Amino acid sequence: MRPGRRNAGRAAPVTASPAPLRLIDVDLDAQSRTESGLAEFDRVLGGGFVAGSVVLVGGAPGVGKSTLLLQSLLSMEAAGVSTLLVSGEESAGQVKLRSMRLGGEGSGLRLLPETQTESVMAALEHLKPAVCVVDSVQTLWSGEVGSAPGSVAQIRDATAQLVRVAKDNGITVVLVGHVTKEGELAGPRVLEHMVDAVLSFEGERTQPFRILRAVKNRFGSTNEVGVFQMAEQGLVEVPDPASVFLEEGDLRSGSVVVPVLEGTRCLLAEVQALVAPSSLALPQRVARGVDRNRLAMIVAVLSRRARLPLLKCDIFVNVAGGLALEDPAADLAVALAIATAWRDGAGGQGVAAFGEVSLTGKVRYALQGEKRIQELVRRGFSQILVPGRNVEEFSKAGGRDSGLRLQAGFDVEQAVKRVTARSNGG
Ligand code: TYD
Ligand code: MG
């Protein structure tokens, strides 16, 4: 034993040794869950709301958070679950109007238009609903905390109190939180550590589709997603979302499809590019749905490794349908969209691709390639460019390449040549 070590634990003498459980004796059924009333929501939660858990639902203003949660509350209330909506942003009348749109105006759902943290706590302890939604956590404030409503200290204090009440009474508390334009929760990052699950509701206001994503989930697998469509009468679930983000009609030059993984699902995304000679000293690089740094890297690789003269060109990249691509396997599709856009009017029709592009110009193996290839086959793409090892894996697993033009074993330069050459030859 090292000197000094002996005294280290002296301060807290142990009185009784706590008895550990055996893994085999842990009962998962003891974790009771309440279904949210929306299968896509349950999928993200890992099978419904866990009693006593606190779930944070973040998203930009107007994305549909209040709609999602009101729909879920109405459905749970109709199924006999006791619910409560604490509304700090909207008056009871506004909630009623929204519920009319959703066809739930006759519901017995309980409303509490309230922003004072202590009052909300008292109501929860008195009513003990199974599920309570607080819309939004940013509106809660307490006189005990010496700072303005909406401040980090207020939000943190309200969350800490809600977490305690939830655990003590077995109430599921769902907190709605606004995020800033940069996607950060308006409030402290620490909030994410205080709650059991963090879900993010994403999508562009002007687009119909919304994705609900689990960023953190103590009671389910993270990275599972739910897909919804915002319609006249609220959110409609999209159980088979693979191709809903594709634009209608034929793919044009400058447009390449990529299968991206979202949890256990594979979605097809369409990457569109436009390349034009620039009159600026610093040519523009505009990206929507693709990380700007990632785009800069792909442009650099195309310039240096595939020798495309892009340095004096403005480059615009957009992902159709308001999807934001995070999967690194989208790199090759971005590269090929730019390459076919540069070769304007040529090639690109019906091209799909995936694979991460490295700085050396190599295209790397992608996870779950089989699933991605199958989705492309299902949609009948005529030219599919895939990392070599993914093709090998696909054939080994007995995947058939009937009539499908699966192409493998290339680097970025070869891939660009194939896609642009096809256009010239026909
Ligand atoms: P909302 O749920 O208020 O967003 P958040 O709480 O995230 O700020 O949704 C706002 C948008 O949704 C608004 O632009 C109107 C639209 N909407 C519909 O299209 N259909 C509907 O049935 C409802 C209730 C809202
Ligand atoms: Mg709202």
Centroid of ligand 1 to alpha carbon of 63 (angstroms) = 7
Residue minimizing CA distance to atom 11 of ligand 1: 62
- What contacts 24+ positions apart, CB below 8 Å, involve 391-398? 393/369, 394/369, 394/370, 397/370
Average pLDDT, the chain: 88
Closest atom, ligand 1, to C-alpha of 59? 7
Centroid of ligand 1 to alpha carbon of 88 (angstroms) = 16
Closest atom, ligand 1, to C-alpha of 135? 6
**What is residue 348's predicted lDDT score, i.e. its pLDDT?**
52
Centroid of ligand 1 to alpha carbon of 66 (angstroms) = 7
**What is residue 330's predicted lDDT score, i.e. its pLDDT?**
96
Q: Which of the listed residues 206, 237, 268 is the one where a domain comes to its end?
A: 237
Asked if the structure places residue 9 within a domain, the reply is no
Mean pLDDT for 377-383 is 83
Q: How far apart are CA 184 and CA 332, in angstroms?
A: 28
Mean pLDDT for 137-142 is 94
Sheet holding 406-407, edge to edge: 285-288, 313-319, 265-277, 255-262, 351-353, 383-385, 406-407
Burial code of 396-418, b = ≥16 C-beta within 10 A, e = fewer? Answer: eeebeeeebebbbebbbbebbeb
**Model confidence at 399: pLDDT above 80:** no
**How would residue 51 be classed by pLDDT, with cut points 50, 70 and 90?**
very high
**How would residue 424 be classed by pLDDT, with cut points 50, 70 and 90?**
very low
Q: How far apart are CA 95 and CA 115, in angstroms?
A: 15
Are 363 and 333 a contacting pair, CB within 8 Å? no
**What is residue 7's predicted lDDT score, i.e. its pLDDT?**
47
Q: What is the identity of the amino acid at 374? A: Q
**The domain containing residue 119 runs over which residues?**
30-237
Asked if the structure places residue 25 within a domain, the reply is no
Q: Is 201 helix (H, G, I), strand (E, B) or coil?
A: strand
Mean pLDDT for 337-346 is 83
* Same domain, yes or no: 162 and 38: yes
Asked if the structure places residue 247 within a domain, the reply is no
Kindly identify the ligand whose nearest atom is closest to the C-alpha of 58.
1
Q: How far apart are CA 396 and CA 345, in angstroms?
A: 37
* Same domain, yes or no: 233 and 272: no
* Same domain, yes or no: 115 and 221: yes
Mean pLDDT for 366-386 is 88
**What is residue 272's predicted lDDT score, i.e. its pLDDT?**
94
* Same domain, yes or no: 197 and 291: no
Token pair for residue 186? 């308006």
Percent of the chain surpassing pLDDT 70: 88
Residue with tokens 């401040």: 151
**What is residue 346's predicted lDDT score, i.e. its pLDDT?**
54
Asked if the structure places residue 7 within a domain, the reply is no
**Which range, of 110-119, 208-217, 238-247, averages the lowest pLDDT?**
238-247
Q: How many domains does the chain have?
A: 2
Beta carbon of 87 within 6 Å of any ligand 1 atom: no
Q: Which of the listed residues 177, 211, 237 is the one where a domain comes to its end?
A: 237
* Same domain, yes or no: 129 and 226: yes
Centroid of ligand 1 to alpha carbon of 232 (angstroms) = 9
**Which range, of 61-75, 78-92, 247-261, averages the lowest pLDDT?**
247-261
**Model confidence at 404: pLDDT above 70:** no
Q: Is 127 helix (H, G, I), strand (E, B) or coil?
A: helix
**What is residue 13's predicted lDDT score, i.e. its pLDDT?**
65
Torsion of CA 105, 106, 110, 114, to 10 degrees: 30
- Count H helices, E strands: the chain? 11, 20
Instruction: Report which of 135, 92, 88, 125 is spatially closest to residue 110, judged by C-alpha positions.
Output: 92
Centroid of ligand 1 to alpha carbon of 78 (angstroms) = 22
* Same domain, yes or no: 159 and 306: no
Q: How far apart are CA 228 and CA 246, in angstroms?
A: 15
**Model confidence at 179: pLDDT above 90:** no
**What is residue 194's predicted lDDT score, i.e. its pLDDT?**
93
* Same domain, yes or no: 207 and 351: no
* Same domain, yes or no: 302 and 359: yes
Give the other-Cβ count within 10 Å of 43's Cβ. Answer: 23
Asked if the structure places residue 14 within a domain, the reply is no
**How would residue 405 be classed by pLDDT, with cut points 50, 70 and 90?**
low
**Which range, of 9-18, 48-57, 208-217, averages the lowest pLDDT?**
9-18
Token pair for residue 233? 């009468």
- Looking at per-residue pLDDT, the higher value among 66 and 254 belongs to 66
pLDDT tens-digit series, residues 269-322: 999 999 999 999 999 999 999 999 999 999 999 999 999 999 999 999 999 888
Alpha helices in 79-232, H assignment, sequence order: 92-101, 117-127, 152-169, 190-194
Asked if the structure places residue 10 within a domain, the reply is no
Substitution site in 56, 63, 67, 210 for ligand 1 pocket (most atoms within 8 Å of beta carbon): 67
Q: What is the identity of the amino acid at 141? A: W
Task: Write the CATH number for 221.
Answer: 3.40.50.300
* Same domain, yes or no: 389 and 272: yes
Token pair for residue 71? 């729909």
Give the other-Cβ count within 10 Å of 364's Cβ. Answer: 16
195-115-179 Cα angle (round to 5): 50
Token pair for residue 1? 């034993």
Closest atom, ligand 1, to C-alpha of 234? 22
**What is residue 87's predicted lDDT score, i.e. its pLDDT?**
97
Residue minimizing CA distance to atom 1 of ligand 1: 64
Asked if the structure places residue 18 within a domain, the reply is no
Q: How far apart are CA 318 and CA 85, in angstroms?
A: 38
**What is residue 245's predicted lDDT score, i.e. its pLDDT?**
85
Are 323 and 354 a contacting pair, CB within 8 Å? no
Beta carbon of 65 within 6 Å of any ligand 1 atom: yes
* Same domain, yes or no: 361 and 411: yes
Torsion of CA 254, 256, 262, 264, to 10 degrees: 170
Closest atom, ligand 1, to C-alpha of 232? 20
Q: What is the identity of the amino acid at 28? A: L
Beta carbon of 208 within 6 Å of any ligand 1 atom: no
* Same domain, yes or no: 187 and 116: yes
Are 262 and 203 a contacting pair, CB within 8 Å? no
230-183-34 Cα angle (round to 5): 55
Task: Write the CATH number for 335.
Answer: 3.30.230.10
Residue with tokens 């019906």: 350
**How would residue 3 be classed by pLDDT, with cut points 50, 70 and 90?**
very low
**What is residue 67's predicted lDDT score, i.e. its pLDDT?**
98
**What is residue 9's predicted lDDT score, i.e. its pLDDT?**
44
**Which range, of 142-146, 149-153, 228-232, averages the lowest pLDDT?**
149-153
Are 267 and 323 a contacting pair, CB within 8 Å? yes
**Model confidence at 115: pLDDT above 90:** yes
**What is residue 144's predicted lDDT score, i.e. its pLDDT?**
95
* Same domain, yes or no: 164 and 303: no
Beta carbon of 188 within 6 Å of any ligand 1 atom: no
The dihedrals phi and psi of 157, each to the nearest 5 degrees, come to -65, -45
Q: Which of the listed residues 237, 269, 286 is the one where a domain comes to its end?
A: 237
Centroid of ligand 2 to alpha carbon of 89 (angstroms) = 7
Asked if the structure places residue 19 within a domain, the reply is no
Mean pLDDT for 403-412 is 68
